[in-house]
Amino acid sequence: MTIRAGVVGHPVSHSLSPLIHTAWIKAAGLNAEYGLFDVPPDDFAAFIAAQRGGVLLGVNVTVPHKEAALACATHVRLAARAAGAANLLLFEADGTIIADNTDGLGLLGALHEQAVFSVKGKTATVLGAGGAARGAVAALTDAGAARIWVVNRTLERARALEGLGPVKATGWIKSTDAFLEADVVINATTLGLGGGPGPHAPLGMTQPGCVVMDMVYRPLETQLLAEARRLRRPAVDGLAMLIGQARPSFAALYGRDPDLMVDVRGLALKALGEKG
Ligand code: NAP
C-alpha cells in the first residue's frame, strides 16, 4: 500500500516540502507519496476530519492553518501546545489526531548547523510576534535562553508572548537594549519576503559575534542577512530552518530518519533559483 502524506496550506503551490520529502522517500526506497493539498480556511476542519483513521498518515501544516491545526487535534504534544500552533498532524488508525510542532527544532538546528550557536544562557532578540515568533520563543525558552526580547510593531502582540518564557516585550522605538544585549537576532516578521525591505534592525549596535538569522528564505539572501554579512556577523538562513523542521517531520511520518547524505539543500536552492 502506498503511504500517503503531504503538506496542507493555502496557497501552497510554492512549498518546497514535497521536493524535500520526496528526495528522502526515494533515498529510503519507500513506497510513499508526499502531496500538496491546497485547502482554503473554511474547508480545513472538514479536510482534516476526512483523514481521520489513517487515510493519510499525516500532514505538514503551513500558512494559514497552523493555529487551526491545533484545534483539530485530539492529542497535542508539548511543542505544539507551547507554540500555540502545529506544523504537523499525525493520523492514527484508531482516529487519534496528534498535533506537533517541529519548527522550533528547525530553528535551533539551523542556528547550530550554520553558526554553531547554542542559546542556553544567552540573550535572543526575536523580531515579530506572530505565529513563527511564538514558536521561536517557545523553542528558545525550552532550550534555556536566559532572556528573550520580542520586538514588534504592535506592542500588545509582543506582550502576549511574555507568559511563554523569560520574555521582555518592546516596540521598535524603544528597542535599543534588545540589540545591544543580543547574542542572536532572529527575524520572524514577514519583512523581507519576496525581496522587499527587511526589518529596520540596527545590527551595527549588536556585539561582534552576534548571530543573525532570518526565517524568510525567499529570497535566501535577504537584506537583513546581507547587512549581517557586511558587518561580519554569523548569518543563518531560513532554508536551514525549513529543512531542519522537515527532518523530524519525516521521521514522525515514516518511522525512520531521513538520509542525511541526500543533498536536499542543493535541490531546494535549485528550485529557489539560487546558487549554493
Ligand atoms: P504572521 O503571524 O503573519 O506575523 C507577521 C509578523 O510580521 C508580525 O509580528 C507583524 O507585526 C510583522 N509585520 C508584518 N508586516 C510588518 C511591517 N510592515 N512592519 C513591521 N512589522 C511587520 O506570520 P508568521 O506565520 O509568524 O511568519 C513570519 C515569517 O516567518 C514569514 O516570513 C514566514 O514565511 C516565516 N517562517 C519561516 C519558516 C522557516 O521554516 N524558514 C517557518 C515558519 C515561518 P504586527 O504584529 O505588528 O502585525
Give per-residue pLDDT as tens, 64-122: 999 999 999 999 999 999 999 999 999 999 999 999 999 999 999 999 999 999 999 99
Q: Candidates 101, 153, 249: which one to mutate for ligand 1, based on the most atoms within 8 Å of Cβ? A: 153
Give the ligand 1 atom nearest the CA of 153: 47
Tell me, yes or no, whether 227 and 121 share the same domain: yes
- Which of 46-50, 54-58, 187-191, 227-231 has the weakest average pLDDT? 54-58
- 172 CA to centre of ligand 1 in angstroms: 15
In this structure, the residue with its CA closest to atom 3 of ligand 1 is 130
Closest CA to 143 of 157, 170, 164: 164
Question: What pLDDT sits at residue 1?
Answer: 66
Task: Tell me the residue range of the domain where 234 lies.
Answer: 104-239
- For residues 93 and 258, give the distance between their C-alpha atoms in angstroms, rounded to a whole number: 23
Q: In angstroms, what is the span from residue 65 Cα to ligand 1's centroid?
A: 14
CATH number of the domain to which 161 belongs? 3.40.50.720
Cβ neighbours of residue 191 closer than 8 Å, sequence gap 6 or more: 127, 197, 198, 199, 216
Answer yes or no: do 137 and 226 share one domain.
Answer: yes
Do 11 and 82 have their domain in common? Answer: yes
- Considering the domain architecture, whether residues 266 and 230 belong to the same structural domain is answered as no
Distance 263 CA to ligand 1 centre (A): 28
CB atoms within 10 A of CB 211: 23
Question: Among the atoms of ligand 1, which is closest to the Cα of residue 238?
Answer: 41
Q: Are residues 109 and 225 in the same domain?
A: yes
Distance 118 CA to ligand 1 centre (A): 23
User: Nine-digit cell at 21?
Assistant: 520529502
Ligand 1 centroid, distance to 27 Cα (angstroms): 34
**In the predicted structure, residue 274 carries a pLDDT above the cut 70:** no
Q: Are residues 203 and 266 in the same domain?
A: no
Nearest in space to 270 (alpha carbons), one of 36, 26, 17, 16: 16
Cα 54 to averaged position of ligand 1 atoms, centre (Å): 32
Cell of 54: 489513517
Nearest residue by C-alpha to atom 39 in ligand 1 = 242
Give the helix/strand (H/E) hosting 236.
strand 235-236
The three grid cell numbers given for residue 144, joined into one nine-digit string:
534555556
Number of domains comprising the chain: 2
> Closest Cα to atom 1, ligand 1: which residue?
130
Ligand 1 atom nearest the C-alpha of 106 is 40
Instruction: Based on the fold, state whether residues 174 and 85 are members of the same structural domain.
Output: no
In whole numbers, what is the pLDDT of the chain averaged over residues? 96
Q: Which residues are catalytic?
A: 66
Nearest alpha carbon, ligand 1 atom 22? 189
Together in a domain, 133 and 184: yes
For the domain that residue 73 is a member of, what is the CATH number? 3.40.50.10860
Same domain for 184 and 147: yes
CA-closest candidate to residue 88, choices 259, 246, 257: 246
Q: Is the pLDDT of residue 276 over 60?
A: no
Question: What angle is formed at CA 185 by the lines to CA 182 and CA 187, rounded to 5 degrees?
Answer: 155
Same domain, 181 and 142: yes
| Protein residue whose Cα sits closest to atom 7 of ligand 1 | 189
Ligand 1 binding site (Cβ under 6 Å of any ligand atom):
63, 103, 106, 128-133, 152-154, 157, 188-191, 193, 215-217, 238, 241-242, 245
Task: Note the pLDDT tens digit of each residue in 132-158.
Answer: 999 999 999 999 999 999 999 999 999
In this structure, the residue with its CA closest to atom 43 of ligand 1 is 132
Does an H or E element contain 240, and which?
helix 238-254
Q: In a 3-state reduction of DSSP, which class is residue 110?
A: helix
CA atoms of 146 and 176, how far apart (whole Å): 18
* 152 in the same domain as 97: no
What pTM does this model have? 0.95
